[in-house]
Amino acid sequence: MSSIEARGLSGRWGRFSLRDVSLRVEAGEYMALIGPTGSGKTLLIETLAGFHSPEAGSVYIDDIDVTLWPPEKRSIGYVPQHQSLFPNMTVKENVEFGPRLRKMNEKDRSRKSCEVMEALGIGHLSDRAPRGLSGGERQKVALARALVLEPKVILLDEPMSSVDAMAHRDLMAVLRETHNVSGATFVHVTHSHEEASVLADTVGVLMGGRLRQSGAYMDVYRRPESSDVAALLGFDNVYSVAGVSESVVEISGKTLVHADGRGFHAAWCGFRRESVEVHGKDLGGENVLEGKVTESLGVGDTGRFIIDAGITIVASRRGETFSVGEHVYVRVPRESIVLWGS
């Protein structure tokens, strides 16, 4: 396993750019890189892999400057978003491609490729052509092709973007087990909070080519430092702050008790829709607002209500069956309210 680090990476390639990105992934860590489309996530890992030369800044592996090293010298496994399997080769021939280039003898490369394919549950596909495989199976072949060379760092560019829900769950389990067994350092580009929450130790948030926030996953998830990061991380309810104290925040004439501890310096606050309680009667207590359901979207636990309570509040359905136009009472737990400065 190896650490990998970007120090002040900048550069523009087509319409994508990186702007003074500094990020360190410790040896054996699993980092998720998240951000909107066009934010530079793929560009960052391709630069770490050596496919692009930055205009400024450096790439380090185990604190050794590898910025000028070609990709094949960096001991990095790269799994692209669209797999890029060779259609004229079998699964096994695809997996053996890297060892063959490195002049590994036939017996050793066959043994190693079979071990990796069995570990990923695709040994039975050895003689199949890629075009006959499912999206999940193709992704496992791409992962096997990267793992067979025993890299110290694995870079994954949205590895689950082309698979269905069942294969998605299977691949997450495979990646988690592969990371645990291999001990390699993983950097995983994704749009999915589920993937990040299940797999990642740490997370980096990229927007507009800049690293906006990074740290332990739960720290970033619970405490975004800006409104755009909060929105990206699933804060459906974000408001500008009209007034704030150590324990109370005022939003558009509504006063809510909070427990954030950063009140005096806050300009914005927010909370997630799943933290909001919706009731048909007033249960009393703090942070209860009376309102009316203006929209009911989706079904079951994945659906949500839009409620006019003097401020617009988005709440998860949680199986409730309130109708549009119905009066309800909304409670926002104080511990769910997060404050930030910009």
Structure confidence at residue 264 (pLDDT): 66
Residue spans per domain, the chain: 4-222, 227-340
pLDDT in single tens digits along all 342 residues of the chain: 799 999 999 999 888 899 999 999 999 999 999 998 889 999 999 999 999 999 999 999 999 999 999 998 898 999 887 767 888 899 888 888 888 888 888 888 888 888 888 888 888 988 898 888 888 888 888 888 888 888 899 999 988 877 777 778 888 888 888 898 888 999 999 988 888 888 999 999 999 999 999 999 989 988 898 888 998 888 999 999 998 888 899 998 899 999 988 766 788 999 999 999 999 999 889 999 999 999 999 877 778 999 999 999 999 988 778 999 999 999 999 999 999 986
pLDDT for the residue numbered 138: 86
- Determine the Cα–Cα distance for residues 216 and 197; give it in Å rounded to an integer: 11
> pTM here?
0.85
Tell which phi-psi region holds residue 57, choosing left (phi > 0), alpha (psi between -120 and 50) or beta: left
Quickly count: other Cβ atoms within 10 Å of residue 94's Cβ.
24
Q: Which residues pair with 307 in a beta bridge?
A: 293, 313
Is there a contact between 184 and 158 (Cβ–Cβ < 8 Å)? no
pLDDT at 139: 85
Classified as helix, coil or strand, 16 is: strand
> Is 329 in contact with 278 (CB distance < 8 Å)?
yes
DSSP letter, residue 184: -
Contact by Cβ (8 Å): 199, 31: no
CATH code for the domain defined by 227-340: 2.40.50.100
Q: How many residues does the chain have?
A: 342
- Which residues are within 8 A (CB) of 149 and not within 5 positions of it... i.e. 6 or more apart? 77, 98, 99, 102
Distance CA 7, CA 328 (A): 52
CA distance 134 to 334: 46
Rounded Cα distance, 129 and 247, in Å: 62
Residue 162 in contact with residue 79, Cβ under 8 Å? no
How confident is the model at residue 216, as a pLDDT? 93
Fold topology of 4-222? Rossmann fold (3.40.50)
The answer to whether residues 266 and 337 touch, using CB atoms and an 8 Å cutoff, is: no
What's the pLDDT at 11?
Answer: 92
